Structures are given as structure tokens and as C-alpha cells.
Amino acid sequence: FFGHQWTVLISPNGNDKSTEGYVSFYLVNKSPESIQAEFQIILRSTARGSFQPTTVGEVDTKWPFGMCTFGAQGGMLCSGAFAKRGTILTFLNNGTLTLEIHLRTYKKAEPTIFVPSNPFCDNVLKVFNNEEKSDVVFIVGGEVESAANRRKRAKTTPTTFHAGHLILKLNAPSLADMCKPGDEAAVPINGVEPEVFKMLLYFCYGGKVSEDELEANAKAIIEAADRFGIVNLKLQAEAVLTKQTEVTVDNMLDNLLYATSKNLALFLEKIMDFVAENGSMLLGKVSFGDVPSNLISDILTAVAQGKKSAGGVAGDDLQIMRVGEMRKRLHDKGLCIDGDRETMIALLRENSESSPSASRVKLEP
């Protein structure tokens, strides 16, 4: 009613002012704004019709109530001694009591005000892959590396894409470095499926890559986004890959080497958690001879994290902080969030407000 949420409470024993043996009803305003309104409560029954008291208990009270103020967030008004309990019971329909609530307000309804949002993102998307509004051209396809064997290359149909160099410079700097605005010759892009390149370009124009597309093309998107400097899309695909991958003894090493090669700190963290939890299963089954030595610290970090309580990291220890928290802190500071654990820790320490260089105070004699 009137844009507010309402609740009705029933007090079988009435309230402190009710005549004994009577039932009280409370009408409660659950909305964050107060409102002035008249209200009326009527009992309904298919067998007995309706019941609307003209006298409440032994006090002559006319219904509906006059204009009342319902306070915000739980402001309520009581009907007082609405009716005797015996009368209420006769209006039950298979154990259900039906109430009809009437509300009336004289407050003039506020006109609906529509204010459109900033059209920038929508306008940019309108010129996505628009030849007339673009100044660089890409030819994507012709050959794509096979995922199963990188020495094999599959032939694909070349696809032409148009883009604005300024947009690429802001959102895909490595891709922008491959071309110059106004170049007549198209820039060839090999090693990427045209459909994947389209997702990357669409993302650069402010579009959203769907969850289904990320799940179906997670590794392809990660590799292309990493290649062209589209960090946020790379991390979105990494999050999906991390969620959908079940790490096992058989695939642990391959996943670990892949995560390391692409600087997938979140995915690597999941793998290290598996190593820390299943160390005894891995002994004698997995050879760590090809694993970079710097990953030992990641394994020790995972072990330390596992010993912490579910409440999280005590204090502000960056060495055992989870990747998600580190990335959030870097993002809040406007710093790069694409890197391994050591790189992110070094950046946070270098730019910490509590670091010696940031907190050094010159003392005057």
C-alpha cells in the first residue's frame, strides 16, 4: 500500500488497555519512511460474512480510525480491544483467520521522476566493430594453435574486426601497440579463435562476457587476455577456471605449471591448498623436479594458511594473506593486480601508508 510494506500482528490477550477477553491487532509499517494514513480492519469468513466493530470493547470508538502517523521501521498502531476471542474463533476458516485491511491517505502521491543514467557505456557499445567509427582493422584466424598439441595448427576462417585505437590503448595496451590509428593494412592475429577475439574486443568496449562464455572458453580467454594486456577479463576467466577445476593427484602438476606460466595467483592458491592438504597422497606419485623453486614459498604459505582459524588472517600479515584480499587492496590503491604472490606483496609493502618511507616524520631540534 502506498509504496510501503506492512505487517499485521495479533495479540490474543489484547494490550494493556484492552478489556479482558478481547483480541488486539497491530498494523506495522516496515518501510524506512513514516506515513500518515487511516486504517480499518475487517474480519472475513465464507460462513459468517464480515465483522467490523463499531464499538471497541466497552469504549465507543468509531471506525475507521482517524488520520494516524505510522513511524518508520516498525512504527505500529493497535486496534485496541477489536473483538472477543470467542467471536474471533467463529471466523476461522479451516484454522485460518482472514483479515481485510483498508488504508487511506490524503498525502498526494509524488510523481514518478525518471532520470536516465550516463549514456557513455551504451554509446561506446553502439560503435563496437563499427567500420565507420574505427581506425584500426584486425584479421583474426587462418590458423589456431591446437590445445592438445601446440605444434599442430588448425585452420579457421579469417574474420575481420574493426576497432578504435584509443579504446584499445586504454583497455588492451599490448593489442594497441600492434597497430597505429589510420593504418590501411589489417593487422593479422593468429593463435586466437575469432569468437574469443570478439569477446575480448567486446569487453574492451565495456561489454560483459557471460558466465557461460567464460566457462566454455576459460583457458582460451586467459591466454588471449594475458597476451593483449586485458587484465580484468583475464582475472574473470581465472576465477571461473578456479571454481570449475577439480584439482587431483593426476592433474595437479599440469595445473600448477599452467598457473605459474600465466601468473594465475588465485588458481595457484587453490592448487597449493590441495598440496598442503594432501601432501601424503602426493609423495612418491608426483615428481617436483620441473617445479620452479620459488613455488616452495607458496606451498609453505598454504600450510600456514591452513593452520589459521576460520576467522581469517590474524593482524595484517601479507605473507599469509589470501590472494583475493591482496588483489582488493591493490585495486583500492589503484595498483596492478596481475602478478604472482611475491609481486603483489612487494607492491603492497612499497605503497603501504604504514611503511617507514610513508610514515617518516622529520623532528625539529
C-alpha to C-alpha distance for 31 and 45, rounded to whole angstroms: 30
What region does 49 belong to: left with phi over 0, alpha with psi -120 to 50, or beta?
left
Average confidence score pLDDT of the chain? 79
Mean pLDDT of the region 259-274: 92
| Average pLDDT rounded to a whole number, residues 231-239 | 97
pLDDT at 8: 83
Q: What is the CA radius of gyration of the chain?
A: 33
The cell numbers describing 49, all together, are: 460474512
Q: How much is the pLDDT for 22? A: 80
Question: Residue 75: beta bridge partners?
Answer: 29
pTM score, whole prediction: 0.63
Read off φ and ψ for residue 298, nearest 5 degrees.
-70, -40
| Whether pLDDT at 54 is above 50 | no
Greatest extent of the chain over all pairs of C-alpha atoms, in Å: 95
Cell of 324: 583475493
